[in-house]
Copies of this chain bind each other. A is one copy, B any other.
């Protein structure tokens, strides 16, 4: 049975270090010291640093946003992307995501796990798209996977490269372009 005290202290320490020192500044050793917990305790419950950070990230999000269903593609995407871009307002989440993506590049085992989590987020978008397809809002033959890439790609790209500001203000334009692009060449 995982001791709630220890586990919470570890997650809190992880979150604190993430905020203060960035992903690189988070070390299992540092977390253990900060949480006043033995290193072995951390390893008992989390198998690696990225797994720990992933958990800390999930705790920072808490409530799962329900899949939006407004009846139109634009409406659904607006809700979804606005929420997505809102991540940028939370340094902890930004740092966590950037670090996790980095880790996924370096550690194939974690990449697998990370991909699973990413897929769960993509599924939400693919459901939105499926409903839109049913309504005839999508050009026939649209690949939902590549469409999802169009939703997440620019967000992640900007998040990772950091060349420009990121925030919910971008959602409107993003959705406009998405809808236009996905509807296809209207007049043929």
Chain B residues within an 8 Å CB radius of A23? 105-106
Is residue A6 contacting chain B, with contact meaning CB distance below 8 A?
no
- The binding surface of chain A is classed by DSSP as helix
Residue-by-residue, is A166-188 near B (CB-CB < 8 Å gives 1, otherwise 0)?
00001001101110111111110
Complex CA–CA separation, A175 to B20 (angstroms):
41
Q: Is A71 an interface residue (CB 8 A)?
A: no
The answer to whether A180 and B173 have CB atoms under 8 Å apart is: no
Q: Does A103 contact B (CB under 8 A)?
A: yes
For the complex, give the distance between the alpha carbons of A101 and B160 in Å.
8
Docked complex Cα distance between A37 and B135 (Å) = 64
- The distance from the CB of A95 to the nearest CB of chain B, in whole angstroms, is 9
- The answer to whether B187 and A187 have CB atoms under 8 Å apart is yes
Indicate if the CB atoms of B111 and A106 lie closer than 8 Å.
no
Q: Is A58 an interface residue (CB 8 A)?
A: no
Tell whether A101 pairs with B104 under 8 Å between CB atoms, given A149-B157, A150-B150, A157-B152: no
A46 within 8 A of B: no
With an 8 Å Cβ cutoff, the count of chain A residues facing the other chain is: 50
Determine how close the nearest CB of chain B comes to the CB of A28; give it in whole angstroms: 16
CA of A171 to CA of B164, assembled, Å: 25
With A153-B157, A161-B115 as contacts: A178 and B181 at CB distance below 8 Å = yes
Contact B107 A24 (CB under 8 A): yes
Query: In chain A, residues 98-130, which have Cβ atoms closer than 8 Å to a Cβ of chain B?
Result: 98-99, 101-108, 111, 114-115, 118-119, 122
Residues in B neighbouring A108, C-beta threshold 8 A:
22
Kindly list 8 other residue pairs between chains A and B, CB separation below 8 angstroms, not including A152-B153, A157-B157: A23-B106, A104-B160, A105-B160, A115-B161, A153-B153, A153-B157, A156-B156, A186-B187
